[in-house]
Chains A and B, each alone.
Chain A
Amino acid sequence: MRPLMNHILPIAFLLGLLAGCAKQPPASEPEALEEYRQTNDPLEPTNRVFYAINDKLDTYILRPVAVGYRKVVPERVRTGVHNVLQNLATPIRLADDMAQGRPRRAGDTTMRFLINTTVGVVGIFDFAKNWGYPAHDSDAGMAFALWGIPAGPFLFLPVLGPSSPRDAAGFGTDIVLDPFTWLGQGAATTAFGWSRYVTSAVDERSRHIDDVDSIKKTALDPYATFRSLYRQHRESQIRNAAEDHRATVPVWFAQPAR
């Protein structure tokens, strides 16, 4: 994961310097002004440039690779690969669950790691899911949100895609939290880091081929549609974490109703 730190984050920080600004409607048009505030995308012109670049990269590199991956690799193997990648991310997820103040989620994550790493053979099989420890989304951006930090304006980052200052900071935090970032040195570690990153990207992309295709085909303004979808999805992830009020009660106590 070290290459990620070295290459992508500086580019992300450069964003602020390159930013062009969207024109704010005058106060004489209150509805347009309200819409501008709700959209909260003052960097829209810059964001659209990066969206266009990402879209080209996706069309000519990532999507074809993902389509090939889905065609060549059997579904069972792809599920296994996905599970292994998810399992490798459990240490970060555990830290994020704890930062969110969600002990039951942290417990789920711990049990998932213990079960899937052993019975599930280094995470290839997700047994924990059927044993009462389902997967959930968790990252540092969600923790920041639960601490009351607002998302801030919309950002479209090169390579990484839709984000916000809060979520970009969360992304960087997760890299720092990841034990693999700090594990060892040398060619083998670098190769592992890169192959994990590339596999994750292909895995993730191959799971959304149909969705993304259909959005690009049906949306009049795909950029705005992705922006809206990203925001809504993020809000629902955060809401799900916030509403997870399961209590942590020792098994020998009377269990409260869920």
Chain B
Amino acid sequence: MRTRRIFLILSGFAALAALMPSSVWAQAGQDANFIKDVGDRLVGIVNGSGTEAEKRPHLQQVVDSSVDVDGIARFCLGRFWRDATPEQQQQYVQLFHEVLLNNIMGHLGEYRGVRFTINHSERRGEGEVVNTTVTRPGQAPADVNWVVANVNGSPRIVDVIAEGTSLRLTQRSDYASYLARNGNNVQALISAMRRQVQQQQTG
């Protein structure tokens, strides 16, 4: 009896051990599915009919529900986030949302006919990196990694790494350099972003 019980316990552990990697694997699969879902929705909007003005709210909905824009905004301000007053933080994040959406809208035309395939995903640092190949007509296929992290209990895109270049790192160095050349004044950055949004709106 005794050996039998030990055997049962041991086999229980073995079963657990066998389950562990598969649950990790299930997590990876979930994030790949999440990116597949988000990607399909984006491709649907980009390639779908309708004017840019009609597409904007749909795009905004996809971005708001799948991208951790607030987190990326904080990351891009770096050490200046702490220097900013609560009002400045709020203005900045709001402008960041608009700038991001405008930038995506600006690329809508070039991405017509876009397709993507999911290759593999792996755990790296803070999140799951889902590797995809993005193909658009007349362009070489691009290698794009989507970094997915768990933000308040749901998967969110926290970075996009296109051909080895991280979008949020690039944006952060842009802002850092602008701040360095404008007396490290967060208000100057906010004004510049506001001008940018106004320019993008007028054409």
Contact = CB atoms under 8 A, between A and B. Distances in A.
A228 B174 contact: yes
A248 interface: no
B4 interface: no
B176 A35 contact: yes
A224 B176 contact: yes
A199 interface: no
Contact of A228 (B140, B169, B196): B169
B21 interface: no
Main secondary structure of the interface of B (DSSP, over half): helix
B192 A220 contact: yes
A57 B178 CA distance: 24
B175 A220 contact: yes
Contacts, number: 64
B165 interface: yes
Interface in A109-149: none
A218 B103 contact: yes
B106 interface: yes
A207 B189 CA distance: 32
Nearest to A224: B177
Interface in B144-203: 163-166, 169-170, 173-178, 180-181, 184, 189, 192-193, 196
B125 interface: no
A232 B110 contact: no
A223 B103 CA distance: 18
A44 to B, nearest CB: 9
A210 B166 contact: no
Given A75-B138, A235-B164, A221 B174 contact: yes
B170 A232 contact: yes
B106 A224 contact: no
Interface string B77-113: 0010000000000000000000100010011001000
Contacts of B193: 220
A214 B163 contact: no
Contacts of B173: 39, 224-225, 227-228
Interface string A204-232: 00010010001001111101110111001
Main secondary structure of the interface of A (DSSP, over half): helix
Interface residues of B, number: 27
A239 interface: yes
A75 B106 CA distance: 23
Contacts of A239: 164
Contacts of B177: 39, 220-221, 223-224
Given A210-B110, A214-B106, A218-B106, A224 B174 contact: yes
Given A31-B79, A210-B110, A214-B107, A220 B164 contact: no
A134 B73 CA distance: 38
B174 A219 contact: yes
B70 to A, nearest CB: 20
A73 B184 CA distance: 47
A239 B163 CA distance: 12
A232 B166 contact: yes
A75 B139 CA distance: 10
Interface of A: 31-32, 35, 39, 75, 207, 210, 214, 217-221, 223-225, 227-229, 232-233, 235-237, 239-240
Q: Return the 6 tightest CB-CB contacts between A and B, nearest first.
A: A236-B164, A224-B177, A228-B173, A220-B178, A232-B165, A221-B177
5 contacts: A220-B177, A227-B173, A228-B169, A236-B163, A236-B164
Given A221-B177, A233-B163, 5 more contacts: A35-B180, A214-B107, A224-B177, A233-B165, A237-B164
